[in-house]
Structure 1
């Protein structure tokens, strides 16, 4: 509300100055609101960054980014800017509810990694061990930088987490809390 406080003051000042019809240099009467419109048009707009649509999924709030693809570190930073963290799921029920909302055949980064110790996966938000429902054959370390976790909705019989290179660009899922 404070950022809009300048507009009413400007309106009052302009109304006091331009409050009556004034005669212009060529003898015509000028509408005082014409000048106010010009003045208001010169005020720079402060566009607030729209908050993402965090949706209640199960008992927690998540934002599933469907369009923007980023590497894991940038996705983690983006989630922080949006007021959340890269997401970690708390149990199988929550995992199924989230997976049901994912676009098929699209990778999503999760807020789970094993940067500190290989095969010791923790939540980025809480630092606690994360709930892990791996896809068949995972974790499968093919590349040296596979310390980040992603999820891919591609087969209802094999929905789960996978280790992924942190440098890949994927969409991502944010959580609003630090519970997990």
Structure 2
């Protein structure tokens, strides 16, 4: 009998709590500036979160696998603004794997992470060229200037650095009153 009374009292207590307060949820993209939340190993660059691996060089497949282990994908460059944000971040000049490839259909370069076509304004001059009919994966060539930075198709077995891109974190908050 005591347990039944306890359950009824608990139920009535919860019911009175729910009626006494208003709970309003808010969900937004990103992390508020004043939040003390770490995004390691990812850094915020522009509107995205990236992990830049330049302490080791690996082939495209290993780079892809490394990003997936972090819950991310190899970087997908949406437009010139994203390329500019990465270039202005002071990346070490050099080469970085992206998620781009034409592994599914030769000559049709898409981003592996979302199957969208790669924008033609991101390529370096005279690229992609599939030299020796063996260039199937896409790397980002970073130079001192944005005009000299861009995409190049190369052989997937080449060892180079890579950039992972994390999904944008979501912040959920609740206002109770």
The alignment status of 1:170 with 2:160, answered yes or no, reads yes
The within-5 A match list for 1:30-49 is none
Aligned match of 1:58: 46
Larger Rg: 1
CA deviations 1:39-95 (Å, max 9, x no partner) are xxxxxxxxxxxx852112221211111111110001000000011001111111111
The alignment status of 1:127 with 2:115, answered yes or no, reads yes
Measure how far apart 1:113 and its partner are.
0.5
Aligned match of 1:109: 97
List structure 1 runs of 4+ shifted beyond 6 angstroms.
none
Aligned match of 2:75: 87
Aligned match of 1:6: none
Aligned match of 2:136: 147
Q: Is the 8 A contact 1:52 1:82 kept in 2?
A: no
CA deviations 1:82-138 (Å, max 9, x no partner) are 11001111111111111223211x211111101111221111211222334011111
How many matched pairs? Answer: 127
Where in structure 1 are there 5+ consecutive unaligned residues? 1-50
Aligned match of 1:160: 150
Cα distance in 1 for partners of 2:69, 2:123 equals 29
What is the SS of the residue equivalent to 2:132?
coil
Cα distance in 2 for partners of 1:52, 1:171 equals 18
Aligned match of 1:71: 59
Structure 1 residue corresponding to 2:126, chosen from 126, 137, 147? 137
Higher relative contact order (CA 8 A, sep 6+): 2
Q: TM-score, normalised by structure 1?
A: 0.65
